[in-house]
């Protein structure tokens, strides 16, 4: 690995909401706190939660497809999540989290894994925005999976071109997040 391994994830036996992401970036690798960057600010805005709620492991689990920062490619972009993380730990980990009622699947790697794990495999050629557009197809199933684009500021153009995401998807996501993070 290009850096010393520093697994970054948060789980508990009580969290009913799972944030399934790609893999930590360099800032998260350095701090050990998931989504401790501008992407996390945007994600918390999408979810309508504050930092305290977001980082409350008893309410929200955060499990990336790659637990550690994978390094950069020749263009200085983050490499994809390392496959051995999913292959070694994910299936067993999720067997121990049966209480999860909803998953925010951020990015294609997380979407492919979680939809397939739940018996709802996605078409191989589908792009992330096509999958996000199909959000209504997954209503009523448990756990409920919301396919989301990455909250990176690099996706600002996509968000401007797709105002339906903020108008239609985010209110439903916020309602589900509020339901799952509220005291029972």
For 144-177, what is each residue's pLDDT tens digit? 999 999 999 889 999 999 999 999 999 999 999 9
Determine, yes or no, domain membership for 1. no
Residue 7 domain-assigned? Answer: no
> Cα–Cα distance between 40 and 130 in angstroms, integer?
23
Domain that holds residue 21: 17-181
* Residue 159 placed within a domain: yes
φ, ψ of residue 40 to 5 degrees: the values are -65, -35
pLDDT band at 53 (very low <50, low <70, confident <90, very high): very high
Task: Please give the backbone phi and psi of residue 60, each rounded to the nearest 5 degrees, phi first.
Answer: -130, 125
Residue 70 is assigned to a structural domain of this protein: yes
- Indicate whether this model's pTM tops 0.95: no
Residue 114 located in a structural domain: yes
> Does 4 map to a domain?
no
Tens digit of each residue's pLDDT (9 = 90 or more) over 86-117: 888 889 999 999 999 999 999 999 999 999 99
For residue 138, the domain's CATH number is: 3.40.470.10
Number of compact structural domains in the chain: 1
């Amino acid at each position: 690995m290009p850096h010393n391994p520093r697994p970054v994830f948060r789980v508990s036996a009580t969290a009913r909401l799972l944030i399934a992401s790609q893999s930590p970036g360099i800032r998260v690798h350095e701090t050990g706190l998931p989504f401790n960057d501008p992407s996390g600010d945007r994600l918390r805005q999408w979810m309508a939660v504050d930092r305290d709620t977001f980082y409350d492991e008893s309410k929200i689990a955060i499990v990336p497809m790659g637990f550690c920062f994978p390094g950069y490619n020749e263009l200085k972009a983050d490499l994809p999540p390392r496959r051995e993380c999913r292959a070694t730990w994910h299936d067993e980990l999720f067997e121990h989290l049966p209480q999860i009622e909803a998953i925010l699947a951020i990015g294609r790697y997380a979407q492919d894994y979680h939809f397939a794990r739940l018996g709802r495999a996605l078409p191989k050629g589908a792009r992330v925005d096509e999958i996000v557009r199909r959000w209504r197809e997954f209503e009523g199933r448990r756990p409920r999976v919301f396919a989301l684009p990455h909250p990176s500021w690099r996706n600002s153009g996509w968000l401007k071109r797709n105002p339906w995401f903020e108008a239609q998807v985010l209110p439903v996501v916020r309602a589900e997040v509020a339901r799952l993070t509220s005291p029972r």
